[in-house]
Amino acid sequence: MSAPTVPQKTKILVVGGGPGGSYAACCLARDGFEVTLLEAEKFPRYHIGESMLASMKHFLRFIDLEEEFKNYGFHRKNGAAFRLHASKAVGYTDFVALHPDNYSWNVIRSISDEMLLRHAAKEGVNVIEEMRVQEIEFDENNRPIAALYKHTPTGETGKISFDFLVDASGRVGIMSTKYLKNRTFNQSLKNQATWAYWRGGKKYGEGTNQESAPLADALSDQTGWAWYIPLHDGTHGCGMVMHENAAKEKKALLEDKSNHAFYMSELQKCPQILELLKDAEMVTDRPGPVVKSASDYSYSASSYAGPGFRIVGDAGCFIDPYFSSGVHLANSSGLAAACSIAASIRGEATEEEAARWHTARVGTSYTRFLVVVLSAYQQVRHQQDPVLADVNEQDFERAFGHFRSIIQGHTDTKPKDLSEESLRETIEFCANAFDTDKDPEQKMTAQKVMRGDDIFHIGNLVTDKLEGFSMRVERGKLGLDRVAA
């Protein structure tokens, strides 16, 4: 087996073929730019994160991929259910309440990610798989100019030079971790996730308007939450998330320290999900461990761009799976990278201006979700306190009324439909969730976000006019428009 041919030079090199990299590459290629994408693995490949936001359809529509997703047969997602307190009612965010076409999907990521990667190739991206980028070379001005890669099956190596780099290397985050060294882990969300798949589980909310909605349910001991997500192949993904310290303490008390024993033990703290799985069997016939786990996945960076490069998706930041923001943030940052690179090439902004705008754009989208995730965790971890509901309220519908526009992704895809007043009310509502001294570290993190320190640009949450520019999303004319202060 010989390695596929990699060009010696390309206009734009994208490292990584996940949702962020494939989306950025596709947008740029459709605008007429030469794009080469190097992916370390061979698709299809497994990835967690199956539940999509309603915003995904807007991103897919722009690159003419929406119909393919609609026709594939993924599990339709009309909304999502959340229980933030073990003894209170479930809160529900209804995607289709305002429009029947506002649904999304629960997807099997090995399938959906490959669909996006193959679509990028069809649109003109030179996609080359099983090519792992190992190093980046820089010029005397510290601008990235070339990448050293290795063909994983044969060990053959090579070098490709480029004018612009999009780092979409996932959690590896080669630019942030190896060169910029600007990744910071969120200590308030230093969580561990443990999950498995089940066949034969019951539908959540059967016979109601919430039937087959994905469910996020607070653990009864207030240490975290669990998810239950239906997939189109008849299985359910089910897992739980808690702080790493809590997970370690719980495992230490078990005679059997295996992930499987820990997982089954924690399921006992989710009586509603346990009932749904009463007649189900764990899926054991798939590659990889039956019970899977991940940790250290909540992080951000001090910047996501510089002259000649952009960082997108998990390569730059990831919050938490609670509100299913991962693919949304990957797509939105991929589009931002495409627009800012196009603006640089077309002379609509200087390199420094375009890079600064990209960092602001990614930081703004990240923060919109961070604020609501932190406030939700505050309630999950302090269930006896009325953090997101008044003492006499029996559910969290008021809270989800405030959250709805953010956790459906509309604040990024449909900014004109969200009033400045509405978004301000959401932020103010979430800020009140941290009015407690029981978790001073989390409160300090939230207050930092609310002040708009560092990368978060809270002052820009109410508008898409960031750093003196707005994004122009039109095929063949991607770029940035300079706007008045």
The more confidently predicted of residues 148 and 218 is 148
Please say if the pLDDT value at position 320 is more than 90.
Answer: no
| pLDDT number for residue 452 | 33
Please say if the pLDDT value at position 382 is more than 90.
Answer: no
- Confidence band for 380, pLDDT divided at 50, 70 and 90: low
| pLDDT number for residue 316 | 95
The full set of domain ranges for the chain reads 9-75+106-184+298-482, 191-295
Least confident span in 93-102, 369-378, 470-479: 369-378
High-pLDDT (> 70) share of the chain, %: 79
Q: Give pLDDT tens digits for 183-211.
A: 988 777 788 999 999 999 999 999 998 99
**CA–CA distance from 287 to each of 251, 282, 372 (Å)?**
25, 14, 35
Buried b (16+ CB within 10 A) or exposed e, 325-358: bbbbbbbbbbbbbbbbbbbbbeebbebebbbbbb
Please say if the pLDDT value at position 366 is more than 50.
Answer: yes
| pLDDT number for residue 450 | 33
Collapsed DSSP state (helix, strand, coil) of residue 146: strand
- Note the CATH number of domain 9-75+106-184+298-482: 3.50.50.60
| pLDDT number for residue 448 | 40
Contact (Cβ atoms closer than 8 angstroms) between residue 22 and residue 113: yes
Same topology, domains 9-75+106-184+298-482 and 191-295? Answer is no
Output the pTM of the full model.
0.85
| pLDDT number for residue 186 | 79
Mean pLDDT taken over the chain: 84
Widest distance between CA atoms in the chain: 68
Name the token pair of 158: 């090579």
Which residues does residue 131 pair with via DSSP β-bridges, in sequence order? 151
Please say if the pLDDT value at position 3 is more than 50.
Answer: yes
Q: Which residue has the tokens 């989710």?
A: 270
Contact (Cβ atoms closer than 8 angstroms) between residue 379 and residue 430: no
Quick one: which H or E segment has residue 261?
helix 259-267
- The C-alpha angle with vertex 79 and arms to 283 and 49, in degrees rounded to 5, equals 40
- Confidence band for 381, pLDDT divided at 50, 70 and 90: low
Name the token pair of 71: 């026709």
Please say if the pLDDT value at position 396 is more than 50.
Answer: no
- HEC letters along 330-358: HHHHHHHHHHHHHHHHCCCCCHHHHHHHH
| pLDDT number for residue 416 | 44
Name the token pair of 331: 């797509």
- φ, ψ of residue 442 to 5 degrees: the values are -70, -40
- Give me the count of residues in the chain: 485
The more confidently predicted of residues 297 and 201 is 201
How is domain 191-295 classified at the architecture level of CATH?
A: 2-Layer Sandwich (3.30)
Q: Which distant-in-sequence residues (6+ apart) come within 8 Å of 110 by Cβ?
A: 43, 44, 45, 46, 47
| pLDDT number for residue 415 | 44
- Confidence band for 379, pLDDT divided at 50, 70 and 90: low
